[in-house]
Amino acid sequence: MTAVPRVSSSPMTAESPSSSARIAASGGGSRAPVGIFDSGLGGLSVLRAVRAQLPGEALIYVADSLYAPYGERDDDFIADRTLAIGQWLASQGAKALVVACNTATAQSIALVREKLAIPLVGVEPGIKPAALQSKTRVAGVLATQVTLRSARFQGLLERYAADCRFLCQPGHGLVQAVERCDVGSAELRALLRSYLQPMLDAGADTLVLGCTHYPFLDAAIRDIVGDRLMLIDTSVAIARQLERVLDQHGLHAAPESAGAALPRFYSTGDGTHQQQLAATLLQIDAAVDQVVIPSRRTAAPDSQAA
């Protein structure tokens, strides 16, 4: 991939007019794009579901790849980046925001909802459907360490686990594998087997994919577990929730808008792997623009400091 253009941007200030206000004033709400954000490339699985469910919607996708994975960051850093990127997408005219990252949702969505004037849709691990569908009453969960320790996740377990035993496994190394477009190497399969075999040995019949990166590992997981584990991927449910939210706010694009332009892709990294993954797994051949989105914790745009 050739060098991508650099787009410099600063977050909106609290005094800036909200995106929704500007959209309402112009009467172009339904034609405005939906913003989708992830710490890296995993949210492309959500984008795939949104395109299938809502083909008339224009989409903007931002990967914060310069600072991925969020699962190894502290809570304040995650909240800081999530808010900054949400503000940037609002400044680009987004009419709604999908936080397509379990870690960012778990740690930040309440804060971001308070700060942004546009509707938000978050993601969360499929604990409820797993508890409803497991026959053996044992289910596995693969998620980042930050997601597993979050109050939001623990609340899901308290609410829905009941008589179902959940085996929670941090997926160390899996996000990094997807970020480098490794979805099937021998090393990756060995890592997955080390996580999945104890679940099988314990009698699990269901596996919650608790990170939006993990659906891209579906084939590798299937090669290991066969039909012994039913996989729970919530991306379709997220797309349906987005549709409900857009309808509720009168922002749903007209069906005749289907077949519009390809999604616009941005990355705080160089975008090479994002373009490769979109082309390979989503059959979308589109450029990825590099964007600088400063935040309180990353005042120097190229800083890697946490």
Same domain, 12 and 106: yes
User: In the listed set 181, 212, 233, which residue is the last one of a domain according to the structure?
Assistant: 233
Residue 94 lies in a domain: yes
Q: How many CB atoms lie within 10 A of CB 17?
A: 12
Going by C-alpha positions, the residue among 11, 229, 247 that lies closest to residue 112 is 11
> In this structure, are 78 and 154 located in the same domain?
no
Domain residue limits at 220: 127-233
The domain that holds 41 is classified in CATH as 3.40.50.1860
175 located within any domain: yes
At 2 the pLDDT is: 30
Quote the Cα angle for 70-34-278, to 5°: 60
233, 258, 275: which is the final residue of a domain? Answer: 233
Q: Looking at the structure, do residues 135 and 98 belong to the same domain, yes or no?
A: no
Residue 305 lies in a domain: no
Q: How far is CA 19 from CA 82, 92, 122, 181, in A?
A: 17, 8, 19, 34
CA 269 to CA 275: how far, in whole Å? 11
Question: 31 in a domain, yes or no?
Answer: yes
Counted domains in the chain: 2
Q: What is the C-alpha separation between 41 and 63, in angstroms, rounded?
A: 6
Regarding whether 58 and 200 lie in a shared domain, the answer is: no
Which tokens sit at 187? 């090393």
Q: Is the pTM of this model over 0.85?
A: no
Is 1 a member of any domain?
no
| Residue 208: inside a domain | yes
- Here the tokens at position 239 are 């797309």
| Dihedral angle sign, alpha carbons of residues 39, 94, 118, 52 | negative
Residue 194: per-residue pLDDT: 98
Considering the domain architecture, whether residues 188 and 141 belong to the same structural domain is answered as yes
Among 262, 234, 266, smallest CA distance to 41 is for: 266
Number of H helices, E strands in the chain: 12, 11
226 with 247, same domain: the answer is no
> Does residue 228 sit in the same domain as residue 287?
no
Q: What residues act catalytically?
A: 101, 211
The distance of Cα 168 from the centroid of its chain, to the nearest Å, equals: 20
- 294 and 219 share a domain? no
DSSP 86-153: HHHHHHTT-SEEEE--HHHHHHHHHHHHHH-SS-EE-----HHHHHHH-SSSEEEEEE-HHHHHSHHH
Structure-block tokens of residue 4:
């991508």
pLDDT of residue 48: 94
Residues 53 and 179 reside in one and the same domain: no
Residue 306 belongs to a domain: no
Distances (CA, A) of 284 to 40, 50, 51, 91: 17, 14, 11, 25
Same domain, 26 and 83: yes
For residue 11, what are its two tokens? 């977050």
Examine the domain organization and report whether 72 and 36 are in the same domain: yes
Q: Which of 198, 233, 268 is the last residue of a domain?
A: 233
Distance CA 238, CA 13 (A): 29
Answer whether residue 294 is part of any domain. yes
Query: Are 89 and 173 members of one domain?
Result: no
Task: Provide the residue-wise pLDDT of the chain in tens; the chain has 306 residues.
Answer: 333 332 323 222 222 334 444 444 333 467 899 999 999 999 999 999 999 999 999 999 999 999 988 988 999 999 999 999 999 999 999 999 999 999 999 989 999 999 999 999 999 899 999 999 999 999 999 999 999 999 999 999 999 988 999 999 999 999 999 988 899 999 999 999 999 999 999 999 999 999 999 999 999 999 999 999 999 999 999 999 999 999 999 999 876 655 557 899 999 998 998 999 899 888 899 999 999 999 999 975 444 444
Is cis: bond before 69, omega within 30 of 0?
A: yes
**Location of structure tokens 């623990």:** 154
